[in-house]
Amino acid sequence: MDKNVVNCKKREFVPGRMLRATVKVVNETGVMIKMPGARGAGVISSRCWGAGVEREEALAAIRPGDEFNVVVCSYDARTMTLSLVLAGCERLMPPTGQKANVVRQIAPQQKVVGPRKPDFVPIAAGATFLWDAANLLGMAGVENAARTFDAISGSLSEQGYKTMFFIERRCLTWALHNQRSTDEAAELDAFSRRSDVVVVGDGGNGTGEADCAILQMAEALPGSICVTRDRYEDYAHTYPGIVGTNRIRSFSVAKIEGKTMVLVNGIAHAIVVPPAISQHADVTDAPAKAEIADGRHGLLAVAEECLRRGDEQAAVRIYEKVAKRDPTAYRALAEMYRGGTAVSADAKKAVRYERLARASEKRCRERSLRERRMRAESIRGDRHFADHFAARRRKALNLDIFAENHKMICEYGRIRRGNAVHNRRAA
């Protein structure tokens, strides 16, 4: 063996030195060799076996364990990578220092230019935007929801588009309960009855989902656009022509100087929701303020507004819906029929609703005591996260229990102080 041929164990990875290499793996990019006694990877350039079909046939004939005399091209100590060529193919090795010189000469002159970004093209006029109202309220805020919807509808109409809003019944109920005044709740209730608003879940078991309704409408209206923060991945197999395409657009919300900006991906101009107009106190505001002071807000305030308009059926329907969880509604119905407020007086109905109010108050009181007892037991048993209460209800129950414990501690301290004073006087 030539004296320049040494074993890889000596780790003599100096460029130009000859080694004896054993094949480990063969692929189209090169021949990997074993490096006994040294960490890293050694690769023989596949160019040593020609090009095209000739190279493919030569590489196919090589088997793991075959040995070759190779010449070191370079060794990168950081990646522990050894570049090799077959003995006799030294012409493939770059001259010493040439690689660095080429880089210094070419790098300043070359400028990497990627593919040009295409010009922005807005969505064609006439398209119908199908809005997920729950996503919109979650981003823009629930206050003055009707004003937000009106601003979006008006702005898109000016830009040549049509709009439809989809909102689930449970979301609409939540939004009505969280309006800041009776007028806002009434406006939102009126808005939900418009022809361009679809309330999902009104019939059946009331658990309809807006996502499914939006995609059904998008399939029926070619060229329509779904505006949502969801990806609809669970509908990808059913609506492959919509999900994952440009027919689903996202939006963002920014608030500045009291204005709310709704920014939709694909339109030229932002949608500006003007700030709420502050109204000075006057005679017309007095009833609304009195209702808020009495705790009449949300659907209770909407029901009273229906009574003022003379819509008895709507008021009774709303009161009975609220009464399932708030006995105040039954009391309001009893007072309404007892005094003949905006309706004909009816003593039988007044007695009936009074009885329902007492039964509802009793159920609420018993449920509250039961929940407080269960919550206290869970805390004593160190099972704070094992109960079934919602976060808001857990917080309320914890405050009740804390208040009771604080009251007991204060009473105990008062008794101790009284006994101490009595003993000092007796002494």
Residue 337: what pLDDT? 79
Report the C-alpha gap between 333 and 354 in whole angstroms.
8
Report the C-alpha gap between 6 and 21 in whole angstroms.
10
Residue 382: what pLDDT? 60
Work out the end-to-end distance of the chain between its first and last CA atoms, rounded to an integer number of angstroms: 115
Residue that is written with structure tokens 């406006």 in the block: 187
Q: What are phi and psi of 180, to 5 degrees?
A: -80, -15
Q: What is the pLDDT along the chain (427 residues), one digit of tens a residue?
A: 444 444 444 456 778 888 888 888 887 778 888 875 666 778 888 888 888 778 888 888 888 888 888 888 887 777 777 888 888 887 777 665 444 333 333 344 445 455 677 888 899 999 999 999 999 998 888 888 999 999 999 999 999 999 999 999 888 988 888 888 888 888 898 899 999 999 998 766 667 789 999 999 999 999 999 999 988 989 989 998 999 899 999 999 998 877 889 999 999 999 998 876 544 333 334 344 334 334 455 677 777 777 777 777 777 778 877 777 777 888 888 887 777 766 777 788 888 888 888 888 888 778 777 777 776 676 666 655 445 555 656 666 666 666 666 666 777 777 777 777 667 777 6
User: CA neighbours within 13 Å on the CB side: how many for 341?
Assistant: 16
Instruction: Please state which CATH number belongs to domain 290-375.
Output: 1.25.40
Give the pairing type, strands 41-45 and 5-7.
unpaired
- What is this structure's pTM? 0.43
What is residue 174's three-state secondary structure? helix
Residue 406: what pLDDT? 67
What is residue 314's three-state secondary structure? helix
Residue 289: what pLDDT? 38
CA 4 and chain centroid, separation: 66
Residue 390: what pLDDT? 58
Report the C-alpha gap between 392 and 222 in whole angstroms.
44
Residue 287: what pLDDT? 42
| Among 122, 121, 156, 120, CA closest to 136 | 156
| Per-domain residue ranges of the chain | 5-92, 128-273, 290-375, 389-427
Q: What are phi and psi of 41, to 5 degrees?
A: -135, 140
Q: What is the 3-state secondary structure (H, E, C) of 315-352?
A: HHHHHHHHCCCCCHHHHHHHHHHHHCCCCCCCHHHHHH
Residue 115: what pLDDT? 61
Decide if 48 contacts 92 (C-beta within 8 A). yes
Residue 100: what pLDDT? 37
| Among 56, 57, 61, 65, CA closest to 25 | 65
Report the C-alpha gap between 255 and 91 in whole angstroms.
67
Report the C-alpha gap between 376 and 178 in whole angstroms.
31
- Please give the full DSSP string across 401-414, using - where no structure is assigned: HHHHHHHHHHHHHH
290-375 shares the fold of 128-273: no
Residue 153: what pLDDT? 92
Within 215-288, strands assigned E span: 225-227, 248-249, 251-256, 259-264, 271-273
5-92 carries CATH number 3.30.1540.20: no
Domain at 128-273: CATH architecture = 3-Layer(aba) Sandwich (3.40)
Decide if 136 contacts 260 (C-beta within 8 A). no
Helices (H) and strands (E) in the chain, counts: 13, 14
Q: Is 156 exposed, middle or buried (0-12, 13-18, 19+ CB in 10 A)?
A: buried
Amino acid at 222: P
| Among 260, 272, 269, CA closest to 125 | 269
